[in-house]
Structure 1
Amino acid sequence: MEKQAATVTLRDQAFEAIKKRIVSGEWHGGMFLSEKMLSELLGMSKTPIRSALDRLEMMGLVKLSPKQGVTVQEVSLKKILEIYELRLSLETFAVRRLTGKMDAGFFAGLDANLAKQAEAIEREDIIRYVELDRQFHAMIIAGLDNEEYTEVMSRIQDKFLLVVRTTFDRNKKRLAGSMEEHWQIRHALAGTDHELSVRLIQRHIEYVKKIML
């Protein structure tokens, strides 16, 4: 049992390490990843790495081929739009349900996240800001207290973050604009106007679509 638990831990460590490099843009679409290189980089055998790669392939972040090996998956425009539509549906539903219903603990979490966003912007740390952006939206979905919604959000976020990061790479001034929109969404959730919350989250997410098209 202990050996099995250790293997699971290594698999998860490999998964998170590889995913982080892909989502951050350090490993770009089309890049070849050999199992030998990953094994040496992460300091572990190929067994947990292969398990991690299988999981990453299911998420659409890598492509496994018997002939070509492992390559970082490029996100097509069609896939971007599909993810965009799913996220838009999920988050508009969430803010409509949550507006005016959340407690002080929920807003304390959002406020702490927003404070860290400001620090990341001050340092022009795009990778850190993108992760905080992810957390902000994940906290909103978590407010529904529905495991199925949380799981769906987690699954699409990694792919969507590749697109979000691109918008910030193209325009660093967008960082401040994004955080301001987060503040507006936070305050709308504390109010009673459900449709205002929906309009704000729509405008926020649609910015990414406008940049990518």
Structure 2
Amino acid sequence: MSRQEGNVTLRETAFQVIKKHIVGGDWTGGTFLSEKFLSELLGMSKTPIRSALDRLEMMGLVKLAPKQGVFVQELSLKKILEFYELRLSLETYAARKLTGRMDAAFFQRLDANLALQDEAIRQDDISRYVELDREFHAMIVGGLDNEEYMEVMSRIQDKFLLVVRMTFVKNKRRLIGSIEEHRQLRQALAGQDAALSVRLVEAHIEYVKKIMF
């Protein structure tokens, strides 16, 4: 591996690990992240870490405060509502477009994901379920085969998952309701009633709004 390739790998590793800790709830809003701490945690120099932090700041997951350092971004209720509205618009559009139009391979992927969701619930693994929840919804938007939509979805989810995780921590019984709504949506997408698919998406995402507001 060349030195340039190695640097790229280190930057990507730093980015993924830091993001996982933030999205997974290990580092909550306002947590101070020193470069020394991250360097020791990741076992790498500060250069790839700084690159990862710059990328995370662009995503809105951390905030670089002059003369203070790096902090995990705290999401205001206004920001959460903005993410909620954007995700709702995107996913209802996808549900309307995809209903009755997807092939068997698409539903096989959804079913495989649902099986893993069920396993995560049995193991009481909230972090794992949250990631699978992300994948489930990303697969639906991915069905549109539109790179711009997928880019927007990715940006929303990294921030919105912080909120989703909080709903499961506050009420673990919500895990059962969530996976059942996923199953209903999967069945609706395989049918011909696009309006039903849209209503199911709306109700599913609306739950987060009820909890947070």
* Alignment TM-score > 0.5, same fold: yes
Structure 2 residue identity aligned to 1:137: H
Task: Output one character per residue of 1:113-158: Cα deviation in whole Å (capped at 9) or x when no partner.
Answer: 0000001111111000000000000000110111111111011101
Partner of 1:53: 53
Map 1:38-49; keep pairs closer than 5 Å: 38-49=38-49
Amino acid at match of 1:164: V
Query: 2:45 & 2:68 partners in 1: Cα distance?
Result: 21
SS of structure 2 residue aligned to 1:19: helix
Q: Deviations over 1:54-92 (max 9, x none)?
A: 000011110101221011111110000000000000000
- Secondary structure of the corresponding residue to residue 63 of structure 1: strand
Q: Does 1:157 align with 2:163?
A: no
- TM normalised by structure 1 equals 0.99
Distance 2:7 2:88 in 1: 37
Aligned to 2:207: 207
1:173 equivalent to 2:137? Answer no
Corresponding residue of 2:16: 16
Question: For each residue in 1:171-204, what CA deviation from the matched residue of structure 2 results, as whole angstroms up to 9, or x when unmatched?
Answer: 0000000000000000000000000000000000
**Within 1, Cα distance between the matches of 2:156 and 2:7?**
26
The answer for the alignment partner of 1:135 in structure 2 is: 135
Matched, 1:36 2:36: yes
Letter in 2 for 1:103: D
Secondary structure (helix, strand or coil) at the match of 2:63 reads strand
Unaligned residue ranges in structure 1 (runs of 5+)? none
For residue 9 of structure 1, report the CA deviation from its aligned partner: 1.1
For normalisation by structure 2, the TM-score amounts to 0.99
Instruction: Report the residue type matching 1:153 in the other structure.
Output: M
Q: Letter of the 1:84 partner, please give it.
A: Y
Supply the distance in 2 between the matched residues of 1:35 and 1:197 (Cα, whole angstroms).
Answer: 46
Letter of the 1:91 counterpart: E
5+ long unaligned stretches in structure 2: none
Separation in structure 1 between the aligned mates of residue 9 and residue 95 of structure 2, nearest angstrom: 35
Distance 1:109 1:3 in 2: 37
3-state secondary structure, aligned to 1:83: helix
C-alpha RMSD of matched pairs (Å): 0.8
Q: Distance in 2 between matches of 1:67 and 1:165?
A: 32
The SS at the match of 2:106 is: helix
Report the CA distance between 1:8 and its aligned residue. 1.1
Q: Which residue of 2 aligns with 1:77?
A: 77
2-side partners of 1:25 and 1:137: how far apart?
A: 20
Q: Which amino acid in the other structure matches residue 59 of structure 2?
A: M
